[in-house]
Structure 1
Amino acid sequence: MIRIQQLNYAYGQKQVLKNIDLQFPEQQFSVILGRNGCGKSTLFKLMAGLEPVQSGQILYAGQALSAYKAKQRASLLGFLPQFHKTVFPFQVKDVVITGRAAFSRFHPSRQDWQLVDQALADLDIEHLKHRSYTELSGGERQLVMIARILVQAPKVILLDEPTNHLDVYYQSYLMKKLRQLSRQNFTVIAIMHDPNLAFLFADQLFFMRQYQVIQPDDHARLTDPVFLKSVYDVEFHEAMIQDKTIVVPDHSWL
């Protein structure tokens, strides 16, 4: 679905992406991991078309994003940025329906409103439908914005830190939902900080360090403590939970 080739990007003289080559498989849940400032969010901005490609290319189904018209792009791609804010006290249903703007020309149909109800039900937030968005908690706002993407019904969903502000229950709930969406003809790609959530739920994992994509040696596991130290500059220990491997930071050096 998505192919990135020899992608480089700089803010002035500061290089923030270096020779990025990636392929994201269709209808799977992929996660990009790495420390703050390693280039993950910049990569997403380029993938979402929010910044122009300076060098290299990003292809969706073989075409650059700029080749798609506005309505085609809305059907192709949904993007949740890391930060979003509104100062207007719109009701939740009115925030979510804006995800249909490219298709309804701001005159929502009955079917559009049915999609809103379905998205709210899918995320178990129907009770928020008539609440003011500005009165919601950070976690509730995050779920509302994800519902806004779902009513758009794009083929690709990009999520920058989707579990931010969510408690443990909703983190697990949302990760299960994202994995489920990838089984329902969506290609889901997320930036995350928590490797354990990614290990438990994602199909594909990609790691970034110092503006580049890195992968472990051929015979090393993604949970290998030596590899993870090269990503996070922190010592890790592996632990088994039933049939799943998780990692625990070593705090002995503190």
Structure 2
Amino acid sequence: MICIQQLNYAYGKKQVLKNIQLDFNENQFSVILGRNGCGKSTLFKLMAGLENIQQGSILYAGRALTQFKGKDKATLLGFLPQFHKTVFPFKVRDVIITGRAAFSRFHPSKEDWKLVDQAMADLDIEHLADRAYTELSGGERQLVMIARILVQSPKIILLDEPTNHLDVYYQSYLMKKLRQLSRQNFTVIAIMHDPNLAFLFADQLFFMRQHEVIQPDPRSKVTDPKFLKSVYDVEFHEAMIQDKTIVVPDHSWL
């Protein structure tokens, strides 16, 4: 679905992406992991068309994003940035309908509102429909913003740190929903910090370190403590929970 080749990017003289090469498979839940400042958010901005490509290419089913306009772009790609804030107390359903702006302008049709109802049902947030967005918890707001993307019916959903600032319940709930969406004809790609959540729910895992993509030795697992130390600069220990492997930071040096 997405092919990134020889992608380089710099802010002035500061190189923030170096020779990025990635392939994201269609209808899977993929996660990019890495420390703060390694280039993950800049990569997403380029993928979403918010920054101009300086060198290299990003192709969506063989086409550059600049070849998609208006409705075609809206049905290709939905993007949820790391930070979003609304200061006006709009009702949740009115926030979600703005995701149909590329299709209906300022006159939503009955079909547009049906899509809003369907998105709320898919995320189990129908009970929030008439609540003011500004009164919601962080987890509820995140689900509303994802519903806003769903009404676009995009093939690809990009989420920059979707579990950030969420409690344990909403982290688990949201990850399950994202995995479900990838099984419902969406290609879901997220930036995350927590490797364990990614290990438990994602289909594809990619790692970034110092502005480059790195992968473990083919003979090693992604949970290999030595590899993870190279990503996070922290010692890890592996642990088995039922049939799943998680990792625990080593705090013995504290």
Residue 252 of structure 1 pairs with residue 252 of structure 2: yes
The code of the aligned residue for 1:17 comes to L
Number of the residue aligned with 1:211: 211
Spell out the pairing of 1:40-59 with structure 2 (5 A cutoff): 40-59=40-59
Aligned equivalents of 1:46 and 1:139: distance in 2? 26
Q: What's the CA shift string for 1:133-180, capped at 9, x where partnerless?
A: 122222221111011011111000000011122221221111111111
Q: Which amino acid aligns with 1:165?
A: H
Deviations 1:31-61 (A, max 9, x none): 0000010000000000000000000000001
| Aligned position for 1:60 | 60
1:144 partner amino acid: V
1:174 alignment counterpart: 174
Aligned match of 1:126:
126
Distance (whole Å) between structure 2 residues aligned to residue 103 and residue 177 of structure 1: 25
Q: What are the within-5 Å matches in structure 2 for residues 29-178 of structure 1?
A: 29-178=29-178
RMSD after superposition: 0.8
Unaligned segments of structure 1, at least 5 residues: none
Question: What CA distance in whole angstroms lies between the structure 2 residues aligned with 1:99 and 1:213?
Answer: 32
Aligned length: 254
In the aligned structure 1, how far is the partner of 2:204 from the partner of 2:198? Answer: 9
**What does 1:181-200 align with in structure 2 at a 5 Å threshold?**
181-200=181-200
TM-score w.r.t. the length of structure 1 is: 0.98
Asked if structure 2 preserves the Cα contact closer than 8 Å seen for 1:139 and 1:164, the reply is: no
- Write the distance in 1 (CA, Å) between the matches of 2:121 and 2:72: 26
Unaligned runs of 5+ in 2: none
- 1:226 has 2:218 as partner: no
1:204-245 deviations in whole A, cap 9, x for unaligned? 000000000000112011000000000000000000011100
Distance 1:139 1:239 in 2: 28
How far has the Cα of 1:93 moved from its partner?
0.6
Counterparts of 1:91 and 1:172, CA distance in 2 = 26
| TM-score, structure 2 normalization | 0.98
Identity %: 85
Q: SS at 2:26's partner residue?
A: coil
Query: Deviation per CA, 1:160-202, whole angstroms, max 9, x where unpaired?
Result: 0111222212211111111111111111000000000000000
* Alpha-carbon distance between aligned partners in 1 of 2:143 and 2:156, rounded to the nearest angstrom: 18
* Structure 2 residue matching 1:3: 3-state secondary structure: strand
* Mean Cα deviation higher: 176-185 or 195-204: 176-185
Match of 1:25 in 2: 25
The amino acid of 2:12's aligned partner reads G
CA distance in structure 2 between the partners assigned to 1:189 and 1:26 by the alignment: 10
Query: What is the distance in 2 between the residues matched to 1:252 and 1:143?
Result: 38
Shift of 1:106: 2.0
- Deviation sequence 1:61-98 (CA, Å, 0-9, x none): 10100011111000000000000012222111100000
SS in 1 for 2:151: helix
Runs of 4+ in 1 over 3 A off after TM superposition: none
Cα separation, 2, equivalents of 1:209 and 1:200 = 22
Name the CA distance, whole Å, in 1 between partners of 2:165 and 2:249.
Answer: 22
Task: State the alpha-carbon separation in 2 of the partners of residues 218 and 165 from structure 1.
Answer: 34
| 1:139–1:166 contact (8 Å) kept in structure 2 | yes
Query: Bigger CA drift: 4-13 or 161-170?
Result: 161-170
Q: Which secondary structure does the structure 1 equivalent of 2:103 belong to?
A: helix
